[in-house]
A and B are shown apart, each in its own frame.
Chain A
Amino acid sequence: MWKVLKAEFRYHKTAITATYAIGVLFLIATLLSDIMKRMDSPMATWSWMSVVTSAYIFLLIHIGSHDDTEKRDRLHSLLPIPRQKLGMARMALLLLFQTGFGIIGLIGVMAVGKGLDRGFLYYMLSSNAFFFLTVALIAIYLDLGHFGRNTYRRIFIGLLALLLILIICLTISGNIISGLEYIFEPYTTPAGAAIFVLLAAGLFYLDVVVFTRRKSYLA
């Protein structure tokens, strides 16, 4: 598993370095510019984080498209590595990228200073877990495409659609609580952060299970 992870890091090192460099450079630029004077520091941090998030998404798309074109799953599936470990390696790669960006984010917040309170730390943890959760959902969706039939994918999309409809209904109804608030308010609480981390861990595991049970590793 570690050999595969190491190879992936080495193979994508230019893209990874460039993406992290963008994050660090924008952090420095934010700290040095007078944006700090014009905005309150959390606002500046969030502006910077949106750039970092965009760079991170670009990195994921870059790596994902390479792996897809070069049929990386097929290459790795031929190796004498237990399929479960291979599934874990794929998700661990995403987790490591995410953790790296989380750390940069934390450094950014610490550098800005004022934004570093306990609530913000929970927010960081929740948002990173939420981002990882989203990526894991995409990975599960893609892996479900290798079961020879679309039933599982349809069920998966159906469940996501139900969730989305629920959020929209809650948002529209408004008389109890805004749907988005309902989702995002726990972001800054310890319980909320724990829920998001547990959900992310659960989806990590679920994708490993789905990957392990795939009917085909040709792509």
Chain B
Amino acid sequence: MSKAFEFKNLIKTYPDFQLGPLNLDLAPGIVLGFVGPNGSGKSTTMHCLAGLVRPDSGSMEIYGRENDLNDPAWKFDIGYVGDIHVFYESWSGERNLQFLAQFYPNWSHEFAAKLAKRLDLPLQKKAKELSTGNRAKLAIIAALARAPKLLILDEPTAGLDPVARAEFQDVLFELMVDGERAIFYSTHILPEISRLADELAFLQNGRIVLRTAKDDLTEKWRKITFRLSRNNLKFESVVSHQREGNDYQVISSDFEATLRQLHELGVENVQHSRLSVDEIAVQILKGGKNVESA
């Protein structure tokens, strides 16, 4: 089966920033969280994928079709919620949806109406009269009503209230039930994606520093505390460490390997605890050493 998308050596250069070379793919049925600090290149990647920005080099495929701007059949397969939401501002939300519907054969008016009700969006209001949150809702409905096989979501819940955010997450869960769709979800709000994502890709300075299954991440990464009197030791898989006297507190990206080494050193009273995805992400994006693809 074709991959939902695949980048090969994708490069996009700006005067003060370079994205890539980026090699990334996503299998159908998977939610990939795309995590990185502001300015790391998340939106640029999304823009390239949606056809809004032309990369300098490299290739992109969506469900086996080349991302060709003059042969946009691949666009039937994607739904995109961008960092900003563009509409015909003097038209109502409903009219904007009607405009979009004519381009997508799989568009469901019924789904759009139901989702608008569920998200409590007043479709009769003009787009320019909608609040930031309601504009995001309209963009989400527009992206989902076309029944896309790949959802590209760039900070989609920015401006949404907690209730609408939770509702949106539920909708995404429901969409993923059939196992055929894929979601590429960019955010820097980790708790938002940690519930939904199957895999996480961490982007920093335009490069992927880690791509891993979320469960592997939370399973392998641990905070370990122990006492040791020896100096100048290099610990296995330790991303960061703090030391006060003989008390160590380390963050390990593979706690079993670190524990093994500690046992070999005869260290006792070793304690370890799980880290949240948020805490792990901070460690990774702070540029912790020994971060490798799991």
Contact = CB atoms under 8 A, between A and B. Distances in A.
Interface in A66-116: 66, 69-72, 74-75, 77-84
A45 to B, nearest CB: 35
A37 interface: no
B279 interface: no
A71 B86 contact: yes
Interface string B65-106: 000011111011000100010111111000000011011100
A42 B90 CA distance: 41
B174 to A, nearest CB: 24
Interface string B18-50: 000000000000000000000000000001001
Contact of A74 (B71, B86, B91, B104): B86
**Which among B14, B88, B90, B100 has the highest number of chain A CB atoms within 10 Å?**
B88
A214 B91 contact: no
B215 to A, nearest CB: 34
B103 A70 contact: no
A80 B76 contact: yes
Given A7-B99, A218-B47, A80 B73 contact: yes
A75 B52 contact: no
B45 to A, nearest CB: 14
Given A3-B103, A70-B87, A212-B69, A77 B52 contact: yes
B88 A11 contact: yes
B54 interface: yes
18 contacts: A3-B102, A3-B103, A70-B89, A72-B86, A75-B86, A77-B51, A78-B75, A78-B80, A78-B86, A79-B75, A80-B73, A80-B103, A82-B70, A82-B71, A83-B69, A214-B54, A217-B52, A218-B52
Interface of B: 14, 47, 50-54, 69-73, 75-76, 80, 84, 86-91, 99-100, 102-104
Interface of A: 3, 7, 11, 66, 69-72, 74-75, 77-84, 148, 212, 214-218
Q: Which 8 A-B pairs have the closest CB atoms?
A: A80-B75, A75-B86, A83-B69, A80-B72, A71-B86, A82-B70, A215-B54, A74-B86
